[in-house]
């Protein structure tokens, strides 16, 4: 077959550009996203695994804002990972357990990304908690290493030879977290002393860095690893650990200082471990995402960002100073939902709203809260124009 010269020229002019784009140029859009984590980024795995510990995420008001139905996301709408996918012109990531349940009949969009995150998941394996007699309070056993196992199971459907996988994963963004927050939440909520949890930080960071290492060995080149949110600003922490001692609160935001200090300690530890990992694998690009800093903007100036009801009080809940009531959590009898979730940063006491996640995601995408830019330097793409030739 004779190939027209014009077509040859087009192919020729594209080839070197394509090669360059997939090796050297750091600022480029991605062809797919693979996400690992917990309820901050779960788009439906926990619900599909039964959600026994938290069945209300399977019904409204969860999902009421954007999807207009409950999808299994722990929010009224989209999560940070959804906004990142949108910014790249990629579909919202499908939950792995949905794909696994339908088998090869359900491969739509799989090569554009898959979500392995599970609400309630921990960075450490569930054995760790069972061995310390606190396993029973875990929502799920689908820890980070279980999620990595799922990724390995799915891999043959994504690519076959090592060369093909390498080429494909090179253009994929791997989001490892946020994860680890629950490793602290569970013990904190049953009264574990802060010194014990501080001592566990190296273990938990080790599990996160271990997962990133596994993914690099599997071919990941571009990774983003987020830190923890300011947990001292979370309605559940503010409620469980409320104190009459006003010096425990930061006057700038009303958050509990020592829990925020703890989150920062974890984040600093993680950041340093990631720097070492980057040195060990110079061919990769490991980005630390400062969820803490990005979210803190909202907590320091909620009204500036449109959160007219402040950032600490939950939209959906069963009363109390932060509208979080453990006996009447969002979705349960005794709770009510606010009229306008976009006026609230906190959705259900534990998780944030579509509006708050959108703000955080935009800050990450524009690169001000990531250690290296997440998007091409020319800025955020319009979903309609991102598709590459």
Ligand X SMILES: *[C@@H]1O[C@H](CO)[C@@H](O)[C@H](O)[C@H]1NC(C)=O
Which residues are marked as active site? 39, 348, 351
Scanning 163-171, 278-286, 289-297, 325-333 for contacts with ligand X by CB under 6 A, the matching segment is 325-333
Scanning 32-40, 208-216, 321-329, 373-381 for contacts with ligand X by CB under 6 A, the matching segment is 321-329
Scanning 28-36, 161-169, 211-219, 316-324 for contacts with ligand X by CB under 6 A, the matching segment is 316-324
Please name which of 185, 215, 199, 33 lies closest in space to residue 121, comparing C-alpha atoms: 185
List the helix and strand counts (H, then E) for the chain.
13, 8
* Those residues with Cβ within 8 angstroms of residue 120's Cβ, 6 or more apart along the chain or in another chain: 38, 39, 46, 53, 54, 138, 139, 140, 182
Binding mask of the shown chain, residues 344 to 383, with x at each position contacting ligand X by CB under 6 A: ----------------------------------------
Give the nearest distance from C-beta 327 to ligand X in angstroms: 4
Give the nearest distance from C-beta 121 to ligand X in angstroms: 11
Q: How many residues bind ligand X (CB under 6 A)?
A: 14
Q: Can you tell me which of 181, 227, 318, 331 binds ligand X, judged by CB under 6 A? A: 318
Closest to ligand X by CB, 83 or 237: 237
H-type helices in 244-344, by residue range?
Answer: 257-280, 291-300
CB 239 within 8 A of CB 321: yes
Closest to ligand X by CB, 124 or 365: 124
CA 355 to chain centre: 15
Q: Within a 10 A sphere around the Cβ of 373, how many other Cβ atoms?
A: 17
* Of residues 153-182, those binding ligand X (CB under 6 A): none
Task: State yes or no: residue 261 binds ligand X (CB under 6 A).
Answer: no
Binding mask of the shown chain, residues 119 to 148, with x at each position contacting ligand X by CB under 6 A: -------x---x---------xx-------
**What interhelical angle do 291-300 and 354-365 show, nearest 10?**
130
Q: What would the two tokens of residue 281 be?
A: 């694998």
Give the nearest distance from C-beta 174 to ligand X in angstroms: 26
Give the nearest distance from C-beta 91 to ligand X in angstroms: 29
The residue with its CB nearest to ligand X is 319
33, β-bridge pairs: 113, 173
Return the residue matching tokens 């949110």. Answer: 229
Give the nearest distance from C-beta 129 to ligand X in angstroms: 9
* CA-to-CA separations, 139 to 54, 162, 312, 342, in angstroms, rounded: 8, 36, 24, 28
Task: State yes or no: residue 328 binds ligand X (CB under 6 A).
Answer: yes
Q: Can you tell me which of 37, 61, 77, 320 binds ligand X, judged by CB under 6 A? A: 320
**Phi, psi angles (nearest 5°) of residue 81:** -65, -30
The pairing of strands 285-289 and 222-226 is: parallel
Closest to ligand X by CB, 218 or 248: 248
Task: State yes or no: residue 104 binds ligand X (CB under 6 A).
Answer: no
Give 349's DSSP letter: S
The DSSP annotation for 2-39 comes to PPPHHHHHHHHHHHHHHHHHHHT--S---SEEEEE-ST
Angle at 272 between CA 218 and CA 285, to 5 degrees: 40
Return the residue matching tokens 């550009």. Answer: 17
Give the nearest distance from C-beta 34 to ligand X in angstroms: 23
End-to-end CA distance of the chain: 24
Give the nearest distance from C-beta 378 to ligand X in angstroms: 45
Give 296's DSSP letter: H
Binding mask of the shown chain, residues 223 to 252, with x at each position contacting ligand X by CB under 6 A: ----------------------x-xx----
Closest to ligand X by CB, 61 or 318: 318
Give the nearest distance from C-beta 244 to ligand X in angstroms: 9
CA 84 to chain centre: 10
Q: Can you tell me which of 106, 334, 340, 388 binds ligand X, judged by CB under 6 A? A: 334
Q: Which residues bind ligand X (CB under 6 A)?
A: 126, 130, 140-141, 245, 247-248, 318-320, 325, 327-328, 334
């Amino acid at each position: 077959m004779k190939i027209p010269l014009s077509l040859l020229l087009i192919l020729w002019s594209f080839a070197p550009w394509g090669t360059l784009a997939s090796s050297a140029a750091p600022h480029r859009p991605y062809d797919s996203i693979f996400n690992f984590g917990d309820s901050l980024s779960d788009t439906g795995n926990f619900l599909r695994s039964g959600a026994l510990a938290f069945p209300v995420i399977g019904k409204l008001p969860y999902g009421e804002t954007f999807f207009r139905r409950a999808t299994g996301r722990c929010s009224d709408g989209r999560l940070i990972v959804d906004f990142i996918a949108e910014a790249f012109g990629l579909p919202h990531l499908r939950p792995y357990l949905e794909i696994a349940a339908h088998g090869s009949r359900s491969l739509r969009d799989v090569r554009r990304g898959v979500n392995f995150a599970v609400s309630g998941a921990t960075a450490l394996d569930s054995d760790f908690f069972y061995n310390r007699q606190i396993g029973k309070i875990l929502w799920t056993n689908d820890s980070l290493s279980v999620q990595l196992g799922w990724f390995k199971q799915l891999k043959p459907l994504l690519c076959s030879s090592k060369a093909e996988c390498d080429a494909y994963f090179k253009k994929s963004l791997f989001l490892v977290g946020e994860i680890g927050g629950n490793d602290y939440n569970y013990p904190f909520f049953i009264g574990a002393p802060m010194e014990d949890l501080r001592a566990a930080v190296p273990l938990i960071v080790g599990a996160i860095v271990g997962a990133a290492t596994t993914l690099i060995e599997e071919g990941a080149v571009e990774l983003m690893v987020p830190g923890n949110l300011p947990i001292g600003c979370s309605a559940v922490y503010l409620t469980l650990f409320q104190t009459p001692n006003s010096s425990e609160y930061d006057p700038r935001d009303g958050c509990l200082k020592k829990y925020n200090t703890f989150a920062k300690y974890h984040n600093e530890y993680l950041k340093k471990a990631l720097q070492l990992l980057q040195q060990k694998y110079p061919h990769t690009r490991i980005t630390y995402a400062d969820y803490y800093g990005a979210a803190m903007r909202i907590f320091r100036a909620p009204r500036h960002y449109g959160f007219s009801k402040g950032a600490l009080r939950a939209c959906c809940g069963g009363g109390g100073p932060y509208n979080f009531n453990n006996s009447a959590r969002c979705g349960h009898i005794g709770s009510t939902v606010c009229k306008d979730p976009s006026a609230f940063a906190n959705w259900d006491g534990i998780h944030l709203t579509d509006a708050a996640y959108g703000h955080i995601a935009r800050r990450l995408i524009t690169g001000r809260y990531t250690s290296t830019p997440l998007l091409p330097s020319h800025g955020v793409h319009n979903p309609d124009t991102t598709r590459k030739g």
